[in-house]
Amino acid sequence: MATAITNISSLVTNNPSLGRGPLGLIDDAAVVIDGDRIAWVGTTSKAPATDSHIDAGGRAVLPGFVDSHSHLVFAGDRTAEFNARMEGRAYSAGGIRTTVAATRAASDAELEATVARYVAEALRQGTTTMETKSGYGLTVEDEARALRIAARHTDEVTFLGAHIVAPEYADDPAGYVDLVTGPMLDACAPHARWVDVFCERGAFDGDQARTILTAGAARGLTPRVHANQLGPGPGVQLAVELGAASADHCTHLTDADVDALASGDTVATLLPGAEFSTRARYPDARRLLDAGATVALSTDCNPGSSFTSSMPFCIALAVRDMGMTPDEAVYAATAGGARALRRTDVGRVAEGARADLLLLDAPSHVHLAYRPGVPLASAVWRAGVKVA
Ligand SMILES: [Zn+2]
């Protein structure tokens, strides 16, 4: 059964051949959903007859958000750590150990409920594609468990056994790399699409990251890298060299890093919730865009350094503090995220794309930045099903 959504004041298609500007904006638009796909896109006056019909009432529609970076398989609470940071203590990668201990102690049912809760929370705000990672287990069994649970709630699952060196290997990081690239990878590769490394001081250096990403790639996992978040480092260059889908964070970049991102296929995924929640310097999106890099925006939803599932919040931060225009930020949160996940079926509104749509309680997508902190998601469709 086909359904037409008509009387859309402004439709973001992310396809310049369909409408105005880089967002391919269509005024007074209509979209026809047939099953789980988009069957037709155009102006309301030319919309074909359909079985059912929804009047958007002069409000805006855009593709569902594609959140390409989150850490939802966790247990425990880090409110006290956040509070301490806001009292002036610095953030380091070490706080991850707190979540590792709580996650190992949690039951499957508790972890499952947490993943389901935050995927649903994101969906209500318009996120229809969400990547999530392991990385709070750090044993063979706990990492494989995290991936199995994640895979029941998203089709974008990332093996992040190399989040930090497991506490048991604090004096033997080489031994931990052997574990990650050996038995842990054996157990985890069947449950994941991606392999990731936290390449940062206090986590894994460039040589260790290369070893782990290369081993993952040999098992069919495509690399993505936590790179250059807390300081300059080799992560971005390594990501581009290995053909990673994405280099995530990109907060501290040299000119050579920016050039590498601009010339390669690796997307620069920016996670402003992390800088917000650690009171750190924001990445310079303007510099990346002006150089010609592809930028994605993502929440980095995790209990330590960015406990938000809100893509609209990240869009508002990117516009206010990272030099992005509202158009660029909305593109990065939809089509940019799709690029970071190498998906062509999401992040755009066109015939044949998955019917993932967000109806805003606003006349334009610009309101996502213009009206920060306001719940603007009026309706959400995922694969043609109205889910919120
Ligand atoms: Zn992360």
Q: How far apart (Å, rounded) are the C-alpha atoms in residues 241 and 97? A: 30
pTM of this structure: 0.97
Contact 267, 194 (CB under 8 A): no
The share of the chain scoring above pLDDT 90, in percent, equals 96
**pLDDT digit string (tens) for 101-112?**
999 999 999 999
What's the average model confidence in pLDDT over 118-141? 98
Q: How much distance in Å is there from the Cα of 179 to the middle of ligand 1?
A: 21
CA of 226 to the centre of ligand 1 (A): 6
Amino acid at 167: P
Confidence of residue 68 (pLDDT cuts 50, 70, 90): very high
Q: What pLDDT is attached to residue 1?
A: 83
Cα(25) to centroid(ligand 1), Å = 32
The pLDDT, as a whole number, for residue 7 is 98
Element housing 386 (H / E)? strand 385-386
> φ and ψ at 79, to 5 degrees?
-55, -45
Q: What is the CA radius of gyration of the chain?
A: 20
34 Cα: distance to centroid of ligand 1 (angstroms): 36
Give the separation between CA 209 and CA 154, rounded to whole angstroms.
25
How far is the centre of ligand 1, averaged over its atoms, from the C-alpha of 35 (Å)? 34
Going from the Cα of 324 to the center of ligand 1, the distance in angstroms, rounded, reads: 22
Which residue is listed with tokens 């109806």? Answer: 359
Q: CA-CA distance, 269 to 332, in Å (whole number)?
A: 9
pLDDT reported for residue 92: 65
Q: Which residue has the tokens 């709630």?
A: 153
Residue 301 is predicted with a pLDDT of 98
pLDDT per residue as tens digits for the range 228-245: 999 999 999 999 999 999
Q: For residue 297, how far is its CA from the centre of ligand 1 (angstroms)?
A: 12
For residue 226, give the amino acid letter.
H
- Six token digits for residue 57: 């009432």
pLDDT > 70? residue 339: yes
Q: How far is the CA of 300 from the centre of ligand 1 (A)?
A: 5
pLDDT one-digit tens code per residue, 276-315: 999 999 999 999 999 999 999 999 999 999 999 999 999 9
Task: State yes or no: pLDDT of 124 exceeds 70.
Answer: yes
319: Cβ–Cβ under 8 A, 6 or more apart, which residues? 325, 326, 329, 369
Residue 137 confidence (pLDDT): 98
pLDDT for res 89: 83
Residue 207 predicted with pLDDT over 80:
yes
Q: What is the pLDDT of residues 83-99, one digit of tens each?
A: 999 998 876 666 888 99
What distance lies between CA 181 and its chain's CA centroid? 25
* C-alpha distances in Å from residue 175, one per residue of 73, 170, 187: 25, 10, 17
Could you give the CA distance from residue 280 to residue 9 in angstroms, rounded to a whole number? 38
Calculate how far, in angstroms, residue 131's C-alpha sits from the geometric centre of ligand 1: 11
Average confidence (pLDDT) over 346-351: 98
Determine the distance separating the centroid of ligand 1 and the alpha carbon of 380, expressed in angstroms.
Answer: 26
Range 161-177 average pLDDT: 97
Cα(271) to ligand 1 centroid in Å equals: 8
Per-residue model confidence (pLDDT) at position 94 = 66
257 Cα–ligand 1 center, Å: 19
Q: Cβ distance 278 to 304 under 8 Å?
A: no
Distance CA 93, CA 332 (A): 26
Q: With H, G, I as helix, E, B as strand and everything else as coil, classify residue 13.
A: coil
Structural tokens at position 149: 């649970």
Residue 296 CA to ligand 1 center (angstroms) comes to: 14
Angstrom distance (rounded) from CA 139 to CA 43? 54
Ligand 1 midpoint to CA 262 (Å): 22
Ligand 1 mean position, distance from CA 70 (Å): 6
Q: For the purposes of burial, counting CB atoms within 10 Å of the CB of 150, is it exposed (0-12), middle (13-18) or buried (19 or more)?
A: buried
Give me 281's structure tokens.
């310097």
Mean pLDDT of the chain: 97
Predicted local distance difference test score (pLDDT) of residue 62: 98
Contact 278, 256 (CB under 8 A): no
Q: In this predicted structure, what is the pLDDT of residue 225? A: 98
Strand partners, 246: 267
Q: How far is the CA of 376 from the centre of ligand 1 (A)?
A: 26
